[in-house]
Amino acid sequence: MPILETQNLSYVYGENTPFRVQALKDVNISIEKGELVGVIGHTGSGKSTLMQHLDGLVKPTSGKVLLEGEDINASKAATRAARFKVGLCFQYPEYQLFESTVYRDIAFGPHNMGLSMEEVDERVRRAADYLEIRDAWMEKSPFDLSGGEKRRVAIAGVLAMEPEILILDEPTAGLDPRGRAQIASLIEKYRVSTGSTVMIVSHSMDDIAESATRVIVMDNGTVALSGTVDEVFREVQTLAQHGLDVPQITRVFLDLRARGVQVRTDIYTEKQARRELVGLLRKEGVLQ
């Protein structure tokens, strides 16, 4: 049984007003335990709205969200339970920091769950550990940290709830390349060591290609494509129709191919690219 699934999920903003927008149309997705799902789509494709549905923050106009087979909107208690099982980290989460110290901010989520002091403390330490938040920061005000540090504290605040499914909306947006790489590797480390399910929303194809086990492409409120990294990024034409591009590195290989160089075009990460290029250069006798 999938851990999280949606059935004919539809959502309309501003029904009965001149600004009516159908944000989601008949969305059916299902997420298995332990997956790392990348959700991509350009601005306004409905990906953020979909994520808010998965956390029970928005009630669907029609259709259902099932968490372990149970409708999360069946009752208030079910919705609240779902908020703890599904951890949603919004875009630019550093703007939600509010406590006087980093420690207390990370503890906000677990505290709301009604856990004992010891349990809260343990979870805060564990979450801080995953995001490599130094002990020295714990008693600092979160407003005194740098942008990248704030981001990590904010993500730790969601991680500390130890959700079964972690959803991150553009977790690396607005960070420098080093910050991006760091956040991406910390998240991957967390996923591998806890075996939890992770969904990452992004419009950076490169981030997604690096780590996702499955990719969902959203466009115009519907699921346009869904499959493994290979299955999705192979569809260069279809992606272009939905206003998306393949990862930059794939673009390089597609262009090489177009110029008559005999390379594979199913290259999505730097590692694959290196292997392919080294192989090619050996074959040509450039490299020994």
Interacting residue ranges for another protein, rule: CB under 8 A:
14, 17-18, 52, 55, 57, 80, 83-84, 87-90, 93, 95-98, 108-109, 112-113, 143, 157-158, 161
What count of other Cβ atoms lies within 10 Å of the Cβ of residue 254? 14
User: Which residue's CB is nearer to another protein, number 52 or number 220?
Assistant: 52
Q: How far is the CB of 153 from another protein (least distance, A)?
A: 13
| Separation of alpha carbons 86 and 166, rounded Å | 6
Task: Give Cβ neighbours of residue 245 (< 8 Å, ≥ 6 apart).
Answer: 205, 239, 251
| Separation of alpha carbons 51 and 181, rounded Å | 23
User: Which residue's CB is nearer to another protein, number 81 or number 277?
Assistant: 81
| Separation of alpha carbons 54 and 64, rounded Å | 10
User: Which residue's CB is nearer to another protein, number 27 or number 51?
Assistant: 51
**Per DSSP, what are the bridge partners of residue 49?**
none
Amino acid at 170: E
User: Which residue's CB is nearer to another protein, number 80 or number 282?
Assistant: 80
Q: How far is the CB of 242 from another protein (least distance, A)?
A: 26
User: Which residue's CB is nearer to another protein, number 3 or number 232?
Assistant: 3
Q: How far is the CB of 110 from another protein (least distance, A)?
A: 8
Q: How far is the CB of 167 from another protein (least distance, A)?
A: 9
Q: How far is the CB of 89 from another protein (least distance, A)?
A: 8
Work out the widest C-alpha separation in the chain, in whole angstroms: 70
What count of other Cβ atoms lies within 10 Å of the Cβ of residue 216? 24
